[in-house]
Every structure is written in C-alpha cells, then in structure tokens.
Structure 1
C-alpha cells in the first residue's frame, strides 16, 4: 500500500504520494523492481542508480539475458565508451543514452567500457514492452549527448515534450527526462493529459516536490493532469523524471524478463536459452576496446 504524504492543494501540482529509499548492494542502489514499485509505475518496472569505477563495474558485471523489456541507461557523471560493429564507436556522457530493446531475447552486460573519467554515475531503467514488441526483434541505439534534444534544463531521453522529440525509438506513450538544476531553481514539467503515471528519482542534491526528495530516493506522484513542480535544494539537483500512459497488462516475471502473458514469457525464456547455448560456442567476442557487443 502506498502511503500518502503532505502535498500542495489539488490542481496546483501533482502531489507526492510515496517516497522510497534505494536498497544498496555495492555501488548499486535498487530503487524499483517489477515485483514492488514496478507494479504501480508500469510500463516503468525497474530502476537502478549506479556509481563507481567503470573498469571495476565492467569486470564485475556478468553477461546476462533479457526479454520482453527495453533498457535505458543514462549518465549523470563521467563518461563511458561504446564499441559495437553495428553502431560504431563513441562516448556516452551526461545526457547521452544507451537504448536496448531486448524484445524476444538478448544477452548483454559488457557492451560499455571505461572512458576518460575515473568515476561514473547514472540510472538504468527497464521499460515493459507492449505485446507487439515483447517477443520482437532486438534493437540497440547509442546516442551521444550532442544528438539529444534539450528543453531548458532538461534532456529529453524518451518521448516528446515542449515541441521536442527524442531520437530514441521507444514505444509511444511515455516520456523520460534527465534534469539538472542549480541551487534554488524552480522547474515544472507538464506531462500529456493521458500520462497518469509519474515519478522522480534523485541522483545528486535534493528537490522539494511538496516534500523533500533526497539522493537515492524515488518519489511517486498522484494520478492526474496537473503539472509536476519541483525546486532544487541548496546544492542544486540532478534527477530523472518520467510519465506515461498506464501499462494495461499484467506483469509476468522471469529472472531477467518481464512479459504481458505467461505464454510470451515462455517464448522469451526459450529464446534466451537458445541464444545462451550459441553464445557458449561463440568464443571471445571482445572488441579491441575491450567491449563485448550485445548478442542477439
């Protein structure tokens, strides 16, 4: 049950109805999983805030599978390198994005490698795909910061907002923005009227959204058509904010997969197993830069 909180009067801005702290293990804070807040915020079903030395993180991250979802990775500090035969090479820094639509099945985990910075921080989000895509083809995009649209202090990661449209080929009906505010700066986000789902997660600093939201916390907003208004704290703030139409499907969960039906989950897990067997035979797939391209 989500607990209500003190909030501004209805109609002025959406009230915060729940705040949760991330659960930590190593350099990763788990803010949302499909079995908890993901049930309330679907199609957004999983969110990690990660930080640390990318060299160590890449070594520790095992190659692992997904199906039925897309992953969205953005960076709030530092930079990493991508090196993929199908996408070329480049750098992902603040405002850049890796989009991977796992669809019917994929193995990944080491496709990004250390850049120039000694430390990185960022968010990885999972999006539950609609039935027409959940067992479909895999797709990857690596989009550098210069190609991502800016709307004031916000970088538009997914969707459309204020006349701008993200180049990420995500399903319609969801927006996802990365925002950086200076100390005391107010900012307001007006989602489309049919975006009933809304949430915010803070990486650095803090925001006041009717109640304080601190680093490593995620806050859920009430359903409605009112804007979401925040003010940065004394140290400024870096955060992600998202809104969407509700995901009109149940969540059927595998260990790394999320599907809309048990049948779709079974197809995804069968494809993952098939790919896993082929991956074992593929040998060393590392590029000269040390990356291991996504296996599909």
Structure 2
C-alpha cells in the first residue's frame, strides 16, 4: 500500500520520561511485563494499561486467560507470534495468529477468555486497554478480529508500518474510534532509519520499543523493553522515530484524552466508586452479558 505524501515535521515531541516494564503474571499464570501501569493512567489518558508478553516456554503462557469479567473499556490484543482464541458471554468468538488483532469493547459488561491454541513454540504480543467515555461505558459489548494479512500496512522511506488503529500517511487503520481517536502503529525501522508521524499537540502519546533502540535528537536513547512517554509540548506537530545502529521495532500509541474521572477495581473501569460497586454487584448477580 502506498502512503500519501506528508510534510516534514518542524517541532517533533521529545521524551518526557522512560518507563521500565514491571514483571508480573496475570490470568492463570501468564508471565508478562506490565508497561503502562495504573499510576500512569491519568498522564496517558485515554490508555489504561499495556502488557507485553513473550516466551518460548509453554509454562509461561499455556494456561492463558480463562473466563474473567470486564466493564467500561476496550481491550486490544495484538499478536506478534502464536495463536490465541477469544470467546465471550455475548456470543463472540475469534481466533487470530501472527500479526492479528482482537478488539473487544466490554461496554456494560462481558465475561471472556483468551486461550492459546498452541502448546509449544513462541507466544508473543501485547494487550492494550483503551478507556471508554462516560457516555459509552454501558454500551452493548462488541468484538472484532483482524487477521494479520488484513492489518493495513505500508512502506515509507525504508520503514514498514502496520496501522492497527487510526490513520497514518493517508492509510486508514483496521479500527477507528471517534471520541478517543486512538492511533496504534507497529513501526519497523532498518538500522538508522527514520519515520515521522504527524500528531495533534493535544493527544497523549507514548512509544514502546520491543526490538533494537530509538534515538532522539537531544541524545535520549530508548532501548528495547522501555516505554518513552512523549512530552505534550505546545506547538508540537508529531513524533520522529529514529533507529539506532540495529533494526528496530516499536509501538507508537496516541489518543485524545477524555479528561474524565477514572475509578478502577480490577477488571472494571468506571467514573465513580458507586459505579464500581454496581459493576461488582451486577457481576455477582450474573447480569453481565
């Protein structure tokens, strides 16, 4: 796919801070790195969490994520390697493998599972949580999967860019959202390669490097396994990613902040404590979809 020409950036964003992932386990014992944690939710609004999982040891992933509830946000599972099946209480089911995306809108509530369909080999990918605006938190649950070959991809000055959500250089992503306007790119750069992405100054943004390293013009280096929170500088017009001396792969994620209160209790994300209490009661009473 050929991208539309885009003017060069004049004031790209700098790195505000670097964040290291925290080793943890979730589901039935899946080992992962939690990169975007609860203490960054307001700074990176509308994003609530980012997990990076990856292992060739089946003991680290084979039990997967059995049935568990969600309410009030969206989950985005992006697979780099391996096969994972989604099932939920609203009747949705899907299987994706290398390069595929599962996008679930929990809305008013759903119970779902994400289970590997492999017992050997490498399993690797990411799960991103995207908040829903207050007006949509009790919307009907929804689900879509996008197989790897169907994720829009383009080449630009040596970079290969997969557009999971939003739009880049005139290429529309697999998913669009009108309120939070998420941009979710998987950018592959050759050694020394550069990719520029226009971005509104109002959007919160971060970059997560999962292979290689990125270098900024001010000397900041972002190695693999680190998230760079990008500064919201007045007048900034986008993000410039430049690889170091090795091929580099990174996620670029940005979105329009909601500016609403965030109240979270485990798998429920609402706006008030009272709404959380109601979510737990509805779950206990079997009133989720």
Q: Which bracket does the TM-score occupy, shorter chain normalised? A: 0.7 to 0.9
Taking structure 1 as reference, are residues 209 and 45 closer, same or farther at Cα in structure 2, changes over 3 Å only? Answer: farther
TM-score scaled by length of structure 1: 0.80
CA distance in 1, matches of 2:284, 2:178: 26
User: Structure 2: how far apart are the matches of 1:18 and 1:259?
Assistant: 28
Partners of 1:263 and 1:151 lie apart in 2 by 46
Give 2:190's aligned residue: 182
Look up the match of 1:104.
108
Q: CA deviation at 1:55?
A: 4.9
Report the Cα distance in structure 1 between the residues aligned to 2:152 and 2:191, rounded to whole angstroms.
23
Change (3 A) 1:116 1:154: farther
Structure 1: distance between partners of 2:62 and 2:282: 25
The structure-2 alpha-carbon separation of the partners of 1:30 and 1:81, relative to structure 1 and needing over 3 Å to count, comes to closer
Give the strand-richer structure, 1 or 2.
Answer: 2
C-alpha displacement of 1:129: 0.6
Cα distance change of structure 1 residues 177 and 262 upon mapping to structure 2, 3 Å threshold: same
Q: Which structure 2 residues correspond to residues 12-31 of structure 1 after superposition, within 5 A?
A: 12-25=11-24, 27-31=31-35
Distance 1:88 1:100, change over 3 A: closer
Task: Tell me how far 1:134 sits from its aligned partner.
Answer: 1.0
- 1:259 maps onto 2:270 in alignment: yes
| Residues 1:41 and 2:44 aligned together | yes
The TM-score normalised by the length of structure 2 is: 0.82
Trace 1:124-135 onto structure 2 (pairs within 5 A).
124-135=127-138
Question: Higher helix share goes to which structure?
Answer: 1
Asked whether the equivalents of residues 80 and 116 of structure 1 are also in contact (C-alpha less than 8 Å), the reply is no
> CA shift at 1:108, angstroms?
2.2
Aligned to 2:142: 139
Aligned residues: 264
| Residue 81 of structure 1: how far off its partner (Å) | 4.1
State how far apart, in whole Å, the 2-side matches of 1:142 and 1:223 are.
Answer: 32
Shift of 1:246: 1.7
- Structure 2 CA distance for aligned equivalents of residues 121 and 187 of structure 1: 24
Unaligned 5+ runs, structure 2: 1-8, 26-30
- Residues 194 and 18 (structure 1), Cα distance of their counterparts in 2 relative to 1, 3 Å cut: closer
Q: Which residue of 2 aligns with 1:220?
A: 229
Question: How many Å separate the matches in 1 of 2:277 and 2:132?
Answer: 15
1:50 aligns with 2:53: yes
2:207 matches 1:204: no
After TM superposition, where is structure 1 displaced by more than 6 Å over at least 4 residues in a row? none
RMSD: 2.6
Tell me by how many angstroms 1:264 deviates: 3.3
**Distance between the aligned counterparts of 2:98 and 2:43, measured in 1?**
30
Task: Indicate how the Cα distance of structure 1 residues 46 and 115 shifts in structure 2: closer, same or farther if over 3 A, else same.
Answer: same
Q: CA deviation at 1:60?
A: 5.0
